[in-house]
Homo-oligomer: A and B are copies of this chain.
Amino acid sequence: MTLEVEQKFPLEAGGGTPTRAEINARLARLGCQWSAPVEQVDRYFAHPARDFAETDEALRLRRVGDENRVTYKGPKLDAATKTRREIELPIEPGKEGLACFAELLEALSFRPVREVAKTRTPGMLDWQGRHIEIALDEVARIGTFLEIELVTDEQDAEAARVAIQSLAVELGLTRSERRSYLEMLLEVDS
């Protein structure tokens, strides 16, 4: 089973959270390689028979430029990081591919919940012999966050968690955010 192990930290939020400039300097010192920023638009869907907010799952269509993907995320499996089962696959590109998949989901009674739009700057960092994914996310209305992520399997999940947490400590990131962007935006909406 493919697992996503992830921790997310607010930046520029006061209360000891680092600024972007501080985190950029620390990541640069560790050799982080950045890619160009991309606009990601995620559309989340509600399941016809269960409350994903209660079951802690998510079903998402993501558009990045012309590329589209569908992603299922299972419930979080531990308390500190956000380790969860992830199933992700590409779907037909372009607006039409996205619209057709959304139409399929809606015919099956999945209901669109909300869109989450963000600018993501992806980075890659070698840490303790692993390639760790970094994402600097600017999310309208809720702020700037740094995500640290590894995609792994069940055997390696605990070691992956340790690696991510030690990197977070090295970066001076202590106040992790367990809520998803969707959850935060729904709270801001209400």
* A interface with B by C-beta (< 8 Å): 47-50, 59, 70, 72, 74, 85, 87, 89-92, 97, 100-101, 103-104, 107-109
Contact = CB atoms under 8 A, between A and B. Distances in A.
Number of copies: 2
A107 to B, nearest CB: 5
B90 A59 contact: no
B48 A107 contact: no
Contacts of A97: 89
A89 B104 CA distance: 9
Contact of A89 (B59, B89, B91): B91
SS class, residues of chain A in contact with chain B: mixed
A92 B100 CA distance: 15
A108 B72 CA distance: 8
Contact of A87 (B50, B90, B92, B103): B103
28 contacts: A47-B48, A47-B108, A47-B109, A48-B48, A48-B49, A48-B50, A49-B49, A49-B109, A50-B109, A59-B108, A70-B104, A72-B104, A72-B107, A72-B108, A74-B107, A85-B107, A87-B100, A87-B103, A87-B104, A87-B107, A89-B91, A89-B92, A89-B97, A89-B100, A89-B101, A89-B104, A90-B92, A91-B91
A87 to B, nearest CB: 5
A73 B89 CA distance: 22
Given A47-B108, A90-B92, A91-B91, 20 more contacts: A47-B48, A47-B109, A48-B48, A48-B49, A48-B50, A49-B49, A49-B109, A50-B109, A59-B108, A70-B104, A72-B107, A74-B107, A85-B107, A87-B103, A87-B104, A89-B91, A89-B92, A89-B97, A89-B100, A89-B101
Most buried by B among A47, A59, A107, A108: A108
Contacts of A109: 47, 49-50
